[in-house]
Structure 1
Amino acid sequence: VTDRSQFVAQVPIIGSLSFHDLCVIISGSCMAFVCLVSFFLIMRHANHFSLPKEQKQVIRIVFMVPVFSLVTFLSIAFNGSAIYIKSIEGVYEGIAFSSFFLLLCEFIRENEEDRQAFLASSGSTKQHKAACIGVFQFPIAMLLQLVITDITQAAGIYCAQSNKFYFAKVWMTILNALSTAVAIISVLKFYGATKTVTKPRKPLSKLVGFKAIIGLSFLQNLVFSFLQSSMKPTEHYTYNDLTIGLPNLLLSVEMVIFSLAFLYIFRAHEYYANKGASVVPLGHGGYQGGFLGIKAIIKAFSIIDILKGIISLPMSAKDNSSTRPSKAWDTGSSTEYERIGMQPNYGQPPEYPHNAAHPRGMPYQQENVQYDPYHAPFNQDTGYHH
């Protein structure tokens, strides 16, 4: 029988609520709010699924926030099993990071052959291959960490309270640190080599917002990991309250902030069709998400493209290999269009009947239509050739 006093302090902190109870209430409230906000944003993308290759990556990235929020809540509520639960967070972090890299690739060129030609002509092939290796090792490392952590914890040799090298915990911390650092550095270098062509898509805000979650989570876990051995329980706080409840409570509150920030950073408005606009909406050939966005959700959570990217790692690691392994995870589906330029009316002014009435009472004018960099015809050198 487990002694509940190990998990819940004997002296309440507010009224009849222990610190553990208070953390559960706050974290649960944060999780509910985060899920509502994040699912709202996901459904906006799913119901306006005009650029499947991009938006499926965006949906995966946005979904990371409720995943983190759920994991932190469960870790607090069931703090005796928190070590097993927290490992799940790392696995999805690896999936989301891979999705962000694939999103950057889509920002360069939607079509695989065009992208490879650009990378070769701009001298970015080396950074691309290094990024493939650095990014796709991350989900492997996180899955390995989950397996080893669960096995060693069950065997009694993980020892979260110790930083001694003959326990598994310190080695898992090192694995996490190295793998995260390699993934982040490789993506930063790839972004630096291609930022001139991706600038019209404003990837910097997406990069900062996404990296902030991973970086903040990693730093907090690292700090509390090394502080665990010095934390002492009191009558109000158990050891688990200090080492598990407190860091996860901070992360729960932070996820609320990130869920709101993602509404702007990964907004769906640029994918909307606007019948009254003088430009062709981004990649528009119609919405492809199906009824209630169900097809979009299914497509987003089919991670075949990431699995193929992982499988292609040995080829990417060869010095004499070409950049073709990236083609294995380019589309993830044979039903997606080949290039945005093939979309109906792409790069052309809207076609309206002669003398038709404008919704705002003005005559349509097809001549001298202005195009911004997002919607420029394919033969213009805007730096963004969707």
Structure 2
Amino acid sequence: METTYILAYEDTYGDLYQPALIIAACFAFTASVFSILLIFQHLRSYTNPAEQKWVVAILLMVPIYATESILALWNPSLSMACDILRNCYEAFALYSFGSYLIACLGGERRVIELLEEESEKLLSKPLLEGEVRKPKSEVRTLRNFFLQPCVLGKDLLTIEKFGLVQYMILKTVCAVLALILGLFGVYGDGEFKWYYGYPYMAVVLNFSQMWALYCLVQFYNVTHERLGPIKPLAKFISFKAIVFATWWQGIGIALLCTIGILPKKEKFQTGLQDFLICIEMAIAAVAHVYVFSAQPYQLLPVSEYGKVTTQEKLTLVEKSTKERPTILEKTETETEAPGTSVKESIQDIVVEGGQHVVKDIVLTINQAIEPVEKGVTKIQETFQHISVASGDEKEELEVKVEERDVEEKREVKLEEHVERTSIT
């Protein structure tokens, strides 16, 4: 029976493989072309490096996903390596989206000012009669991050950045660990068995990703009104759709294969995931053309390129023979932004973007290590206090013993003296 099932599966897989590969290749090619053209437009009109470096990083997600998925579908032996690289870039893209929102708000300093303003505004509202206002140290707690993120002020930015960077670090570490376990044959991609490493990593990464996305959602909820000009909701939905589609889709397929609804074969499981990703990336590429358009960076006010004399025109409108009201018409002029060198744009993205990522990673690691160092220091101080206390007790005990010995000697001498006196 099992042999018949395996043969039927092999026949079905063989019949579907070739058409699926051709369809997926067409979608992957379409996705890559749309995304690369859009990236090239941003590189040619690189007028706002603070924002566009992160836009390019987000847009690269589509061709990278599409290329790795079609390669894995074409050669299943590359599936694991492609999946690891794809997951690593997903974490970096999530970090890039958070950095893009910060850049759109004017940079980290401006974001801190905005968050502090929002916090002060909320905390300055009149309280109920008899209610005591809590100090900032009590207001800025982790509990309020879930209930009232607005009151956290600049701490909200710290939590948001920590949430995104921890996912990027964990994703990379788990990817390397998965590669090592795969070499020893104990990774078990898609296998929910206790002696494989896959289920444990899935739990850790699932929690890490959910926390990162939740931090991003909370930051978005506080700043979405300020982000109105860039239409953040469309960008947010389009980006989160990719992240959720790839991650939860992979988990869902693995579960369906585990319970027997889909064929429990690794080639089929990974192949279906790669096929669906190719189709989804084509849809995402088309959406990005509208959501992350380069047009806002191509046409900018001429005032940004030097002094401009604004021309005003006076128009006389005659309503009657006695009145001649004057209407002032003012026109704003836009000019095409000067083109930039693609090489210079890429250099700025790699150098400046890389430095920004490294700085945030170092800061996050320090923030994670700081509580551990404090805990270790506290433990050391406790042990030192215990050892000092025990030393003092020991010294006190020795002093008591010495005092007792001296007292006993005195008593002996006194008895001897009494005996000698009585004899005399």
Normalised TM-score (structure 1): 0.72
Distance change >3 Å, CA 315–CA 117, structure 1 → 2: farther
Determine the structure 1 residue equivalent to 2:297.
Answer: 271
The within-5 A match list for 1:318-337 is none
Distance change >3 Å, CA 239–CA 7, structure 1 → 2: farther
- Does the CA contact (< 8 Å) of 1:138 and 1:183 recur in 2? yes
- Does the CA contact (< 8 Å) of 2:28 and 2:70 recur in 1? yes
Determine the structure 2 residue equivalent to 1:209.
Answer: 238
Q: Distance in 2 between matches of 1:296 and 1:153?
A: 38
Distance change >3 Å, CA 220–CA 61, structure 1 → 2: same
Determine the structure 2 residue equivalent to 1:136.
Answer: 165
**Corresponding position: 1:114 with 2:110:** yes
- Does the CA contact (< 8 Å) of 2:167 and 2:208 recur in 1? yes
Q: Distance in 2 between matches of 1:7 and 1:253?
A: 29
- Does the CA contact (< 8 Å) of 1:71 and 1:86 recur in 2? yes
Q: Distance in 1 between matches of 2:63 and 2:8?
A: 26
Determine the structure 1 residue equivalent to 2:270.
Answer: 244
Distance change >3 Å, CA 180–CA 140, structure 1 → 2: same
Determine the structure 2 residue equivalent to 1:258.
Answer: 284
Distance change >3 Å, CA 275–CA 159, structure 1 → 2: closer
Of 55, 64, 67 in structure 2, the residue corresponding to residue 70 of structure 1 is: 67
CA displacement at 1:93 relative to structure 2: 0.8
Q: Distance in 1 between matches of 2:337 and 2:104?
A: 20
Q: Distance in 2 between matches of 1:12 and 1:121?
A: 62
Counterpart of 2:359 in structure 1: which amino acid?
Answer: K
Q: Distance in 2 between matches of 1:154 and 1:232?
A: 29
Determine the structure 2 residue equivalent to 1:39.
Answer: 36
CA displacement at 1:166 relative to structure 2: 2.4
Counterpart of 2:361 in structure 1: which amino acid?
Answer: I
Percent of aligned positions with the same letter in both sequences? 21
Q: Distance in 1 between matches of 2:52 and 2:346?
A: 10
Q: Distance in 1 between matches of 2:185 and 2:89?
A: 26
- Does the CA contact (< 8 Å) of 2:164 and 2:212 recur in 1? yes
Distance change >3 Å, CA 78–CA 175, structure 1 → 2: farther
Distance change >3 Å, CA 40–CA 7, structure 1 → 2: farther
Q: Distance in 1 between matches of 2:362 and 2:355?
A: 10
CA displacement at 1:216 relative to structure 2: 1.1
**Corresponding position: 1:180 with 2:198:** no
- Does the CA contact (< 8 Å) of 1:23 and 1:249 recur in 2? yes
**Corresponding position: 1:171 with 2:200:** yes
Determine the structure 2 residue equivalent to 1:11.
Answer: 11
Q: Distance in 2 between matches of 1:7 and 1:232?
A: 18
Where 1:88 maps in the other structure, the secondary structure is helix
Where 1:220 maps in the other structure, the secondary structure is helix
Distance change >3 Å, CA 232–CA 305, structure 1 → 2: same
Residues 290-326 of structure 1: CA distance to partner in whole angstroms, max 9, x if unpaired?
Answer: 1xx222123224422112111111455569xxxxxxx
Of 211, 218, 237 in structure 2, the residue corresponding to residue 189 of structure 1 is: 218
The within-5 A match list for 1:345-360 is none
Distance change >3 Å, CA 154–CA 89, structure 1 → 2: same
**Corresponding position: 1:222 with 2:218:** no
Where 2:357 maps in the other structure, the secondary structure is helix
Determine the structure 2 residue equivalent to 1:155.
Answer: 184
**Corresponding position: 1:145 with 2:142:** no
Of 288, 313, 320 in structure 1, the residue corresponding to residue 364 of structure 2 is: 313
The within-5 A match list for 1:71-86 is 71-86=68-83
Counterpart of 1:271 in structure 2: which amino acid?
Answer: Y
CA displacement at 1:269 relative to structure 2: 0.7
Residues 185-236 of structure 1: CA distance to partner in whole angstroms, max 9, x if unpaired?
Answer: 00000111112211122111111111110011111011012223344888xx
CA displacement at 1:286 relative to structure 2: 5.0
Q: Distance in 2 between matches of 1:118 and 1:294?
A: 35
User: Which structure carries more relative contact order (alpha carbon 8 Å, separation 6+)?
Assistant: 1
Q: Distance in 2 between matches of 1:33 and 1:7?
A: 35
Distance change >3 Å, CA 46–CA 280, structure 1 → 2: farther
Where 2:60 maps in the other structure, the secondary structure is helix
Q: Distance in 1 between matches of 2:291 and 2:38?
A: 11
Counterpart of 2:203 in structure 1: which amino acid?
Answer: I
Higher helix proportion (structure 1 or 2): 2
- Does the CA contact (< 8 Å) of 1:231 and 1:243 recur in 2? no
**Corresponding position: 1:126 with 2:155:** yes
CA displacement at 1:7 relative to structure 2: 12
Determine the structure 2 residue equivalent to 1:23.
Answer: 20
Counterpart of 1:205 in structure 2: which amino acid?
Answer: A
Q: Distance in 1 between matches of 2:228 and 2:159?
A: 21
Distance change >3 Å, CA 190–CA 8, structure 1 → 2: farther
Q: Distance in 1 between matches of 2:336 and 2:29?
A: 35
CA displacement at 1:256 relative to structure 2: 0.6
Counterpart of 1:257 in structure 2: which amino acid?
Answer: I
Counterpart of 2:168 in structure 1: which amino acid?
Answer: P
User: Any stretches of 5+ residues in structure 1 without a counterpart?
Assistant: 1-5, 320-386
**Corresponding position: 1:198 with 2:227:** yes
User: Any stretches of 5+ residues in structure 2 without a counterpart?
Assistant: 1-5, 120-152, 304-330, 372-424
The within-5 A match list for 1:373-384 is none
**Corresponding position: 1:304 with 2:355:** yes
Deviates most, 223-232 or 250-259: 223-232
CA displacement at 1:77 relative to structure 2: 1.3
Counterpart of 2:251 in structure 1: which amino acid?
Answer: L
Where 1:197 maps in the other structure, the secondary structure is coil
Q: Distance in 2 between matches of 1:106 and 1:315?
A: 23
- Does the CA contact (< 8 Å) of 1:131 and 1:190 recur in 2? yes
- Does the CA contact (< 8 Å) of 1:9 and 1:19 recur in 2? no
Determine the structure 2 residue equivalent to 1:294.
Answer: 343
Determine the structure 2 residue equivalent to 1:384.
Answer: none
Q: Distance in 1 between matches of 2:338 and 2:363?
A: 31
CA displacement at 1:184 relative to structure 2: 0.4
